[in-house]
Structure 1
Amino acid sequence: MELTQDQIIAIALVVGLMLIAGLRGMLNLSGLLAAAIVGLSVSLLGHWTWLAILMVFLMTGSIATNWRYEEKKALRVAEDNEGTRGWRNVMANGAVASLVSVLNFALGGPEWAYLAASASIAVASSDTLASEIGSLDPRTRSILNLEAVPAGTNGGMSVTGTFAAFFGGLLIAVMATTLYSIHGGTIPLISLMMFITVIGWLGCQVDSILGALLENEGYIGKHTVNFLATLSGALMAYLAYWRFL
């Protein structure tokens, strides 16, 4: 069977993702295997542009993780293993995009799928930048009652983290909007950018609320919180599409 141009680009991007992530130490072996699964499903059942958006998140997240890493390590708010991530982290942030890609393939490519996949990635980006950059801001307060809490506390929010969360969502929104013309969709570009940015930021707040209510109490772990937050982003995008677009 002859591969289409889009499929060739998709496979090339997956190979490139594996090489970059492996050589730069972004992912360990289990993380690379999970990234291959997510990358292939997202790019072949969705579109290669979806994977390009995911790759922007991965690279930005890696830069944010390594930013002032030793300071975060001293405060015990840094990622373990020198920032190298495993399969749980990959699936926590990319599984929803994979699920949307499966629905996209099964339903014949509905227009909301691109918005939902992009929004879920925007949530992951927003939360990662808020955590990695905001964890060094001592002006941290609980999202539940606004009481002062130590920097890096689950459910904590800070001025720096809030702005970082907005930038994380905006970054993905710009990338998704730039690539949208390839799909030839009908969603107005300004609406696409606005919804992805706002949903990314809102999903980050969902993550903080779940962290404060459930993770701090030991009911669920960090990766489950991340998955649920990205899922909320995809659901918000689906509802926004049918309600406003």
Structure 2
Amino acid sequence: MRAIIAGPAIALLCYRAYSKNSLTPAGIFAAFLTAVAHAVHPWNLPFVLLVVFFLAGTRATHVKENVKATLTMHSRGSSGGEGPRTHIQVLANSLTASILCLLHAWQLSVRKDTLLVTASPDASGAASGAGPESLCFSWRGDLLVIGIIANYACVAADTFSSELGILSTGSPRLITSWNLRKVPRGTNGGVSLTGLGAGLLGSVIVVTAAVTVLPFCTAATAGRLGGGVAAWTDPQRQLLILGLTVWGFLGSVLDSILGGLFQSSVKDVRSGKIVEGEGGVRVLVSSAAGCQHSKATTGAKAALLHGEGEDAVQKQGTNSSAVDDDAAPSLERYDAKNKHRRPSFGDERPSRVVENGWDLLDNNDVNFLMAFSMSVGAMAVASWYWGIPFRSVLPTAV
């Protein structure tokens, strides 16, 4: 992309993120580096996809923002809702695409240098004067291009599904449950028809933008720089659009499956709402050790009340100082000034419980794993369908 266009565009994106409080300061810096990685590519495609995803995703986030804030709870105890995105969230969605963009830019540079060395003087002159429009994308073309588009189709579908699906009139159903049981809004792995439809819309938006700016090889440009060896026909373009759109939709489904399995959803028992962590990180719940400590303390106090003495306290595995501190009238268990208080009901039941999922990944881990898997998977499918070796993604294989 030309620097005279990319420079002001990157500045405007960073300013908009700052003025709208869409990103944290670290998030803005990560977005700047991501935009530069996309802008160094000779095609407009990567940068356009980044801009479309950012603007469309931000717009989806702000749809009925006040309503969505009441449907979940923040880990600090306030209303939920999406705050400024962090650098981790930015990289989770765009790191894979950034790497693929840099690889493809390098691949095009190697290919152009090779053609300049091997071409005749007349051809060399024509090649050296060739503009970006001659770097066309052919039928059975570069696999990296498929991976870049697939990445943004999937993350856009996931963003739309999460941000708009929560507004569904009905309760979502857990996709990893054998009976598709109903779960609270915001549950990881919870899906609804509204969310699935929103995910499809996000994929359609990105793929439409991609095919609008993608430099398809025509009969006039096929065989020139960019690996263009065959012109695209209308049926082939339609197949590409349909395949990438469906693939983006499947990305949002995969994200739900991964989230339902490997990401724990924490529910506030009192309100029944899902608790969201700041920046997509894990939400803490009471540990098993804490529960055992609570039971031991309760048992020791009961022993004292029944007049069984210090021996009974020691048998319960609780020291006398802990009991004395707990029984001290100046240290109320549920007083906000008591730093040792536990978030629980009076009957010692925790106020937060795990609704579903294993606590192996957080939301950012799931997003990155989905984006990476779907991008590589799309390139693998294209490699199989076109009969192109997967190793062709490396510049040295050109």
Give the distance between the partners of 1:191 and 1:210, measured in 2 at CA. Answer: 28
Residues 162-181 of structure 1: per-residue CA shift (max 9 Å, x gap): 00000110110100010113
| Residue aligning to 1:239 | 380
The structure 1 residue matched to 2:368, chosen from 209, 227, 238, is: 227
| Residue aligning to 1:153 | 187
**Aligned-pair CA distance for 1:136:** 2.2
Please give the root-mean-square deviation of Cα atoms over the aligned residues, in Å.
2.3
**Aligned-pair CA distance for 1:82:** 5.3
How do 1:83-102 residues align onto structure 2 when only pairs under 5 Å count?
A: 83-102=83-102
Moved more, 164-173 or 18-27: 18-27
Give the distance between the partners of 2:242 and 2:104, measured in 1 at CA. Answer: 22
Is 1:196 the counterpart of 2:248? The answer is: no
Distance 1:210 1:164, change over 3 A: same
Higher helix share: 1
SS of aligned partner of 2:40: helix
Among all aligned residue pairs of Structure 1 and Structure 2, give the percentage whose two residues are the same amino acid.
Answer: 29
SS of aligned partner of 1:181: coil
| Residue aligning to 2:123 | none
**Aligned-pair CA distance for 1:200:** 0.7
**Unmatched 5+ stretches in structure 2:** 110-140, 222-227, 265-357, 387-398
Moved more, 171-180 or 51-60: 51-60
Give the distance between the partners of 2:35 and 2:73, measured in 1 at CA. Answer: 29
2:166 counterpart letter in structure 1: S
The structure 2 residue matched to 1:72, chosen from 47, 68, 76, is: 68
Which of 1 and 2 has greater Rg?
Answer: 2
Distance 1:47 1:181, change over 3 A: closer
| Residue aligning to 2:199 | 165
Is 1:140 the counterpart of 2:172? The answer is: yes
**Aligned-pair CA distance for 1:46:** 6.5
**Aligned-pair CA distance for 1:133:** 0.6
1:19 counterpart letter in structure 2: Y
How do 1:27-106 residues align onto structure 2 when only pairs under 5 Å count?
A: 27-45=23-41, 47-76=43-72, 83-106=83-106
Distance 1:69 1:131, change over 3 A: same
2:205 counterpart letter in structure 1: L
SS of aligned partner of 2:191: strand
Moved more, 46-55 or 34-43: 46-55
**Aligned-pair CA distance for 1:49:** 2.2
Structure 2 contact 44–213 (Cα < 8 Å) conserved: no
Structure 1 contact 28–85 (Cα < 8 Å) conserved: yes
Distance 1:46 1:240, change over 3 A: farther
Structure 1 contact 93–230 (Cα < 8 Å) conserved: yes
Give the distance between the partners of 2:160 and 2:381, measured in 1 at CA. Answer: 24
**Aligned-pair CA distance for 1:81:** 7.5
1:228 counterpart letter in structure 2: L
Residues 121-171 of structure 1: per-residue CA shift (max 9 Å, x gap): 111100000001111223311111211111211011101000000011011
Give the distance between the partners of 1:158 and 1:11, measured in 2 at CA. Answer: 41
Structure 1 contact 46–102 (Cα < 8 Å) conserved: no
How do 1:209-220 residues align onto structure 2 when only pairs under 5 Å count?
A: 209-216=257-264, 217-220=358-361
